[in-house]
Amino acid sequence: MIWIVFVLVFWAAAWRVNIVLTAQKPNRFNAFAVPALFGITLLLLWEGFVRGFGISPVLLPAPSAIAVTFSQNLPVLWGDFVQTFVKGALSGYIIGCGAAILVAVAVDRSPFLQRGLLPVGNFVAALPIIGLAPIMVMWFGFDWQSKAAVVVAMVFFPVLVNTVQGLQASDAMQRDLMRTYAASYPQALMKLRLPAAMPFIFNGLKIATTLALIGAIVAEFFGSPIKGMGFRISTEVGRLALDMVWAEIAVAAIAGSAFYGLVALLEKGVTFWHPSQRG
Amino acid sequence: MNDTVISAKNLSLTFETNDGPVHALKDINLDIAKGEFVSFIGPSGCGKTTFLRCMADLETPTGGEITVNGVTPREARKSRAYGYVFQAAGLYPWRTIGGNIRLPLEIMGYSKEDQAKRVQQVLELVELDGFDRKFPWQLSGGMQQRASIARALAFDADILLMDEPFGALDEIVRDHLNEQLLALWARTEKTIGFVTHSIPEAVYLSTKIVVMSPRPGRIADVIESTLPKERPLEIRDTPEFIEIAHRVRDGLREGHADG
């Protein structure tokens, strides 16, 4: 009971502090403090209710229990992270996005490909990953290669569509200017079309970060070596070790956020000139 | 006035639209000699911009003939015979002012040292020295337009085509840029084609004023200016200036009456 009273009081106090903080002028401190306080409150509420109501750890382990499991299994979690994220998701992401941008340039150049390839890409994007993953495992084996293949299939289309759209984003006057310089196609592509397409390309790249992680984890449910985040989640659920499952979810959340943040940071550097980034 | 730079003979251009053909240009005949400053003036829809775009090979005429430097506009474009200034500055926002001016030089394969030298030169010419590291969006509209003029001047083209370059600017900035443009023209001895819809601007700048009228786009009058080459802004109050402006206005009105 004391736990529940404590977290409710803490909740009310944190709420009050955040009201005061948000009423102030925005600055570096409260830009960080407000969401941090919100997150801490959420974790404390979770901890307090789990302890106060005596919820079974199979249904919902307390954050402290998850943290303990996390710290005791660092080598296992690291191994899973490398297997799933670095080998599966990251390599698939790089191959898939790279191929999509190259194909987009080809599609942009040729109306024939535009009519032929885009519908096929659309079709592949509509295939459910649940159906695709076992096929890829059959084709490319149990190890990370099949996971990368699933990721390629998942990230390819959003990046392709965004890039194709981006390559058409330069306006008529900017293109006329290139014409008056008698610029060649590669020159116009490198100096006008691709830079102008960057905001669109990064849009696709950001969407693809989360898709890559989902793809790599889900693909492991259909066969993998005895490591990997998806493998761990499916086996630990079977052993009712839900604290380990939550620890893997924490790893996925951290890796996913960091990945997204990194791409967003890169975007800020490349498209600093775009009105949405000038701020 | 013997060496002709631009020559149009019975030039016509018809756009096929859903509402039937639109005669943007009809039977245009005009010769522009080397070193002339020619203004094209007329109401919107008279084809003045289209005519300029034909010279630049940005539009393809449907009838008649046009030559630039004695060859077709396409060949002239391929040999980089002209610089073109658009209605809006159209600077690439991901490049600095210096980077934007360097753009045509990079494309045309000038050496790195030559690029740096030329960028510095034209920046001084348009009084923007010191701004080469700024980005376009950090500059006012007038400065952006000056940068776009610098960009068109950076490479060796004898012809400068300008499509209402000062149309979007206020009158004070415009006066200043007009003065600068005249000084620049005197210094570089380029042939300039200049589209405008301002009578004072046309009279102040030009050695030859081409008055055009709409539907179909055609030339209503060609006025050779009698003003001296040296033109302070006050020249706009002289009887001679007012007389020419009057003739331009008459030409515009006539074109409108039977249009």
CATH number at residue A164: 1.10.3720.10
- Our CA angle for B210, B215, B220, nearest 5°, is 25
Residue labelled with tokens 């080598």: A75
* Residue B192, pLDDT score: 93
Residue A48 domain-assigned (yes or no): yes
Whether A33 and A130 map to the same domain: the answer is: no
**Chain B residues touching residue A182 (CB < 8 angstroms):** 77-80, 107
* Residue B259, pLDDT score: 45
CB pair distance less than 8 Å for A181 and B107: yes
Whether A37 and A165 map to the same domain: the answer is: no
Question: Choosing among A171, A180, A191, A192, which should be mutated to test the B contact, i.e. which has the most B CBs within 10 A?
Answer: A180
- How does pLDDT run across B125-166, given as a tens digit for each residue? 888 888 989 999 999 888 898 899 889 888 888 899 999 988
Whether A157 and A223 map to the same domain: the answer is: yes
Whether A213 and A111 map to the same domain: the answer is: yes
Whether A183 and A47 map to the same domain: the answer is: no
**Chain A residues touching residue B58 (CB < 8 angstroms):** 176, 179-180
A75-114 burial: b if 16+ Cβ within 10 Å, else e: eebebbbebbbebbbbbbbebbbeebbebbbebbeeeebe
CB pair distance less than 8 Å for A180 and B83: yes
B222: β partners: B210
| Segment holding B103, helix H or strand E | helix B97-107
Distances from the Cα of A225 to the Cα of A34, A79, A228, angstroms? 42, 12, 8
Whether A240 and A182 map to the same domain: the answer is: yes
CB pair distance less than 8 Å for B80 and A182: yes
- Contact criterion met (CB below 8 Å) for A250 and A238: no
* Domain chopping of chain B, boundaries: 4-81+157-257, 91-156
Q: In the predicted model, what is the mean pLDDT of chain A? A: 91
- How does pLDDT run across A239-265, given as a tens digit for each residue? 999 999 999 999 999 999 999 999 999
* Residue A190, pLDDT score: 92
- In single-letter form, the type of residue at position B19 comes to D
Q: Using an 8 Å CB-CB cutoff, list residues of chain A that contact chain B.
A: 171, 173-174, 176-183, 187, 191-192, 195-196, 198, 271-274, 278
Whether A99 and A8 map to the same domain: the answer is: no
In chain B, which residue's Cα lies nearest the Cα of A269? B94
| Segment holding B14, helix H or strand E | strand B4-17
* Residue B1, pLDDT score: 43
Chain B: give the shortest CA distance to residue A276, in Å.
13
**Chain B residues touching residue A183 (CB < 8 angstroms):** 107
In chain B, which residue's Cα lies nearest the Cα of A270? B94
Architecture of the domain whose range is B4-81+157-257: 3-Layer(aba) Sandwich (3.40)
For residue A216, the Cα-to-chain-centroid distance in whole angstroms is 11
Domain count of the fold of chain A: 2
As for the ipTM of the complex, it is 0.86
For residue A276, the Cα-to-chain-centroid distance in whole angstroms is 21
- Residues B157 and B171: their CA atoms lie apart, in Å, by 29
CB pair distance less than 8 Å for A174 and B92: yes
Q: At what angle do helices A111-126 and A144-167 cross, to 10 degrees?
A: 140
Chain B: give the shortest CA distance to residue A171, in Å.
9
Distance in angstroms between the alpha carbons of the first and the last residue of chain B = 32
* Residue A118, pLDDT score: 80
Which residue ranges in chain B fall short of pLDDT 70? 1-2, 255-259
Question: Choosing among B57, B71, B87, B94, which should be mutated to test the A contact, i.e. which has the most A CBs within 10 A?
Answer: B94
- In single-letter form, the type of residue at position A59 comes to L
* Residue A279, pLDDT score: 63
**Owning domain of residue A108:** 70-278
- Residues B38 and A274: their CA atoms lie apart, in Å, by 38
- Contact criterion met (CB below 8 Å) for B218 and B23: no
Mean pLDDT value of segment A218-238? 92
Residue A61 domain-assigned (yes or no): no
* Residue A202, pLDDT score: 95
- In single-letter form, the type of residue at position A30 comes to N
CB pair distance less than 8 Å for B86 and A177: yes
Q: How sure is the predictor about A123, in pLDDT bands with cuts at 50, 70 and 90?
A: confident
B160: β partners: B83, B192
CB pair distance less than 8 Å for B77 and A180: yes
Cα torsion angle, A61, A67, A70, A73, sign: negative
In chain B, which residue's Cα lies nearest the Cα of A193? B92
- Our CA angle for B7, B12, B15, nearest 5°, is 135
- Contact criterion met (CB below 8 Å) for B23 and B134: no
